[in-house]
Structure 1
Amino acid sequence: MARAKSRTWATRAGLGVAGLALSVLAASAQVQPPPATDGIYGVWRNPKGSVHVEIKPCGPEVCGYVVWANDEARTDARKGSGGELLGRQLLRDFTPSEKGEWRGKVFAPDVNMTFSGRVLVLDAGKLRAKGCVLGNFLCKTQVWTRVA
């Protein structure tokens, strides 16, 4: 019971494990070239340290699969989507945009919903992830850290 009360507005809005989501910079007037794909590839940890996602090529696009999750994240995913979190694809159809970011879809298994997402690699060890429910209205932004 106490656990439900501690959930944030973002979790209630459906932005739980993935949070994600995924990222954005303030809009700039200049068009930047698409990011180098090798910068986004790797294993990334969410801010809570509860989930590690491997981002890799999936055909012409980029996707991300859960390669590690703590017990709480795994339990939340089972309650939300009824499935196992490990091996679950959370990021799909990510393609580079003209703003230097990646855009695609983010699946949040704890609420069994898919959101629009954006990712921007900030440097070799950090990326900014943003996930939005209603267009660009209800969003959550996180900074993820490279694990490998």
Structure 2
Amino acid sequence: MKTLLFSLLLWVAAAVPAASQQYSPLGVWADDQGETHVELYRCGEEICGKLVWLRTAATPTGQPLTDAHNPDPERRSKPLQGLVIMQHFRYDGEERWTNGSIYDPTNGRTYSCNLRMLQKDVLEVKGYIGFSFIGSAHRWKRLP
């Protein structure tokens, strides 16, 4: 009887599909203000993101813009282009990647962040402090 019950449980478990994602957030995305492009990519088991394009990428003298507001003085001279600004996102089911962080180089602050695919080419990026329901959500569009 125990063997039959165990076999039945294994069959039911195999028949129930695992949570799978319909859309992938991997690729290059334009922010909702048209100021930056961010490439989301795999970094181990997680998703990370780096700045790959900025509307204003250089100073008037032609020098690359740097991470001038970084709280770490040693990092303030690093160029913004190529800077990793998103880290630690893990798939949480239902087209969501949670428990990540997003760095805002305009003020040097890092916020908690969640991602949610709304459509194949629309990504909701929600940064927050403390509780996600009081955060700020932005819709990014996938670039070809």
Determine if the TM-score, normalized by the shorter chain, exceeds 0.5: yes
User: One-letter code of the match for 2:102?
Assistant: V
How many equivalent pairs are there? 116
Supply the distance in 1 between the matched residues of 2:137 and 2:38 (Cα, whole angstroms).
16
Q: CA RMSD in A?
A: 2.6
Distance 2:34 2:55 in 1: 8
- Pairing of 1:1-148 with structure 2 (within 5 A): 33-35=19-21, 39-71=24-56, 78-81=67-70, 82=76, 83-103=78-98, 104-136=100-132, 138-148=134-144
Distance 2:95 2:102 in 1: 18
**CA 1:93–1:73: 2 relative to 1, 3 Å:** farther
TM-score, normalized by length of structure 2?
Answer: 0.70
Aligned equivalents of 1:54 and 1:127: distance in 2? 12
Which structure's relative contact order is higher, taking Cα pairs within 8 Å and 6+ residues apart?
Answer: 1
DSSP 3-state at the match of 1:71: coil
Structure 1 unmatched runs, 5+: 1-31
Structure 1 residue 99: deviation in Å?
Answer: 4.2
Q: Which structure has the bigger radius of gyration? A: 2
Query: What is the distance in 2 between the residues matched to 1:77 and 1:136?
Result: 29
Deviation at 1:109, TM superposition (A): 1.2
In structure 1, C-alpha distance between the alignment counterparts of 2:58 and 2:133, rounded to whole Å: 26
Alpha-carbon spacing, 1:76–1:130, altered in 2? closer, same or farther (3 Å):
farther
Moved beyond 6 Å, runs of 4+ = 72-77
Task: Measure the CA separation in 2 of the matches of 1:73 and 1:113.
Answer: 21
Q: TM-score by structure 1 length?
A: 0.68
CA contact (8 A) 2:57 2:81 kept: no
| 1:85 CA displacement | 1.3
Letter in 2 for 1:92: Q
Q: Distance in 2 between matches of 1:142 and 1:43?
A: 15
More displaced 10-residue stretch of structure 1: 40-49 or 74-83 = 74-83
Gaps of 5+ in 2: 1-17, 71-75
After alignment, is 67-76 or 115-124 more displaced?
67-76
Distance 1:108 1:130 in 2: 13
**What is aligned with 1:7?**
none
Matched AA of 1:62: I
CA–CA distance in structure 2, aligned partners of residues 120 and 86 of structure 1: 24
Identity %: 26
